[in-house]
Amino acid sequence: MPRLEKVTALVKKTLNEHKAEEIVIIDVRDKTPFADTYILANGLNVRHVNALKESIIEAFAKNNIPYNHVEGSLESTWILIDAYHCIINIFTEEERNRISLDELLNQKYN
């Protein structure tokens, strides 16, 4: 399995290249058994959220990085990519504000 740093850097680079907003990386190593890093980002709208997901999946394929599964559909306002030790959440701004996952993760793990 690829190193966490490689996966995190690739996801961050891909999100930046495709104009994601409010990219946050939360390190939860040694704090939870099911992930080492959460990455959260916003898309401008549902179409952009889906395009960001597709760009990450494509980057994983080009770099031979496996992922477990993707939650969410073409119409989703929140898409989750489970890349084993790296959990990627892509939201519309409204959905991210509604869910408040940033706040929840920071309260739980910091």
Q: Is residue 99 part of a domain?
A: no
Instruction: Determine the pLDDT at residue 34.
Output: 82
Q: Record the pTM.
A: 0.92
pLDDT tens, N- to C-terminus, the chain (110 residues): 568 899 999 999 999 999 999 999 999 988 888 899 999 999 999 999 999 999 999 999 999 999 999 999 889 999 999 999 999 999 999 999 999 998 888 777 76
Q: What is the CATH number of the domain that holds 32?
A: 3.30.460.10
Residue 22 placed within a domain: yes
Is position 108 within any domain?
Answer: no
pLDDT attached to residue 1: 53
Query: How many structural domains comprise the chain?
Result: 1
pLDDT of 108 reads 78
Given a contact cutoff of 8 angstroms between Cβ atoms, the answer to whether 37 and 26 are in contact is: yes
Q: What is the pLDDT at residue 2?
A: 62
Burial of residue 15, with CB atoms counted within 10 A of its CB: 0-12 exposed, 13-18 middle, 19 or more buried? buried
Domain range for 51 is 4-94
- The whole-angstrom separation of Cα 23 and Cα 68 is 22
pLDDT attached to residue 90? 98
DSSP, collapsed to helix, strand or coil, labels residue 31 as coil
